[in-house]
Amino acid sequence: MTKPRSRSQRNAPTIADVAREAGVSPMTVSRVINEGSMVRASTREKVEAAIAALNYAPSAAARQLAGGADTRIALVYSNPSSMYLSEFLMGSLDRASTLNVTLTVERFGEDADLADLLMRMQRGRVNGVLLPPPLCENEAMLAALRKEGLAVVAVAAGVPRPEIASVGIDDFHAAETMTSHLIALGHRRIGFIKGNPDQSASERRYEGYLAALEQAGIAPDPSIVAQGYFIYRSGLDAASDILDAALPPTAIFASNDDMAAATVATAHARHLDVPGDLTVCGFDDTPMATTIWPELTTIRQPISDMARAAMDLLASMIRNPDSGAAVRHDQLDYQLIRRQSDASPARKRKTAS
């Protein structure tokens, strides 16, 4: 949740307000502010009149939106998975260097003040924002950034918003692919750990899991489905709930690698062999997948590549505002990576102790 703005912050006009008052686009307002030559005299007069009427003070983002050489992008994050963030940051920094972009990193926690964040970005002359999950679907964040006239790219939203440029993968088919793989190995009781319910990617992955079961004629069993939150601790609780079922599964598919790793730890604590007694699979292919034993079979979400693609898209939006192109939604390929944590349910499962 964000703290309420002060009266002065709430009433401060934005570039979008000026554009509305003048009946033009925010980009046209930006050109007038930057003294661009490609603006009709009559249009310039309307914009200047709107600026005066609203007592508008141009932000750094507005001054630079018309294509200044200095491109500044903010990566705003609140993702609790350090492994995911590490991959994302590496890709972002790598691409920022290639694109000659100045990248700033801002943490936005649950108790953060959105008005303070916007003020810091104004002071830093930021003109574009990169939003990895879960902020890619934060309604207040998206609305505020758009109101400020900032370019935005959302990354890894399960269901992209039509008006917000995005980069991601097909979460539904990725989860369907993994579940079908487990079915092909011979598993019929496949547990599932959901991701954070606040993220649409979580629901898409669960829907993919259900679709694969339906295609195989397997009835879903709610007793072997548990809620997780994309963090390790939640994976421990969810795995325990699933393994305590009257008829436990022979495989568990977790919605990310952190929760899959927690599932492996839970199995070991119960003296279950992975994958001999229990197959465990994850999602993302973060470094976590190869730092535990056995190494995880998982869906490779190309996190670093998505960050690079998002940087490319965002820089293009900032530097070529008049391209006239429709809002882009770029989809990258995923890949099923097999390692040591999956096998056919060949052995009789041990009784959990």
Same domain, 103 and 217: no
Share of the chain above pLDDT 70, in %: 86
Q: In what order do the strands lie in the sheet with 165-168?
A: 101-107, 71-77, 128-131, 151-155, 165-168, 329-331
Give pLDDT, residue 34.
58
Give pLDDT, residue 151.
93
The arithmetic mean of pLDDT across residues 24-41, rounded, is 65
Q: List, for residues 202-240, the tens digit of each pLDDT value.
A: 999 999 999 999 999 999 999 999 999 999 999 999 999
In a domain, 42, yes or no: yes
- Comparing 153 with 38, the larger pLDDT belongs to 153
Same domain, 215 and 95: no
Same domain, 184 and 298: yes
Same domain, 316 and 230: no
Same domain, 165 and 309: yes
Q: Give yes or no for residue 23 having a pLDDT over 90.
A: no
In a domain, 181, yes or no: yes
Same domain, 291 and 203: yes
- The number of C-alpha atoms within 13 Å of 259 and in the hemisphere containing its C-beta is 29
pLDDT tier, 1 (very low <50, low <70, confident <90, very high otherwise): very low
Side chain identity, residue 251: A
Q: Give yes or no for residue 37 having a pLDDT over 70.
A: no
| Model pTM score | 0.78
- The CATH code of the domain that includes 41 is 1.10.260.40
How many angstroms separate the CA atoms of 19 and 147, rounded? Answer: 11
In a domain, 325, yes or no: yes
- The CATH code of the domain that includes 272 is 3.40.50.2300
Give pLDDT, residue 191.
98
In a domain, 344, yes or no: no
In a domain, 159, yes or no: yes
Domain range for residue 82?
70-169+305-333
Strand partners, 299: 283, 336
Instruction: Calculate the CA dihedral of residues 6, 50, 69, 38 and round it to 10 degrees.
Output: 170
Same domain, 309 and 161: yes
Give the least confident one: 37-51, 131-145, 302-316. Answer: 37-51
Same domain, 117 and 238: no
In a domain, 90, yes or no: yes
Q: Give yes or no for residue 165 having a pLDDT over 80.
A: yes
pLDDT tier, 347 (very low <50, low <70, confident <90, very high otherwise): low
Same domain, 298 and 251: yes
Give pLDDT, residue 134.
93
Same domain, 288 and 238: yes
Same domain, 310 and 163: yes
Same domain, 194 and 230: yes
Q: Count of domains in the chain? A: 3
Backbone angles phi, psi at 116, to 5 degrees: -65, -40
In a domain, 150, yes or no: yes
Q: In what order do the strands lie in the sheet with 297-300?
A: 225-227, 190-194, 251-254, 279-284, 297-300, 335-337
In a domain, 338, yes or no: no
Q: Give yes or no for residue 137 having a pLDDT over 80.
A: yes
Share of the chain above pLDDT 90, in %: 66
Give pLDDT, residue 240.
98
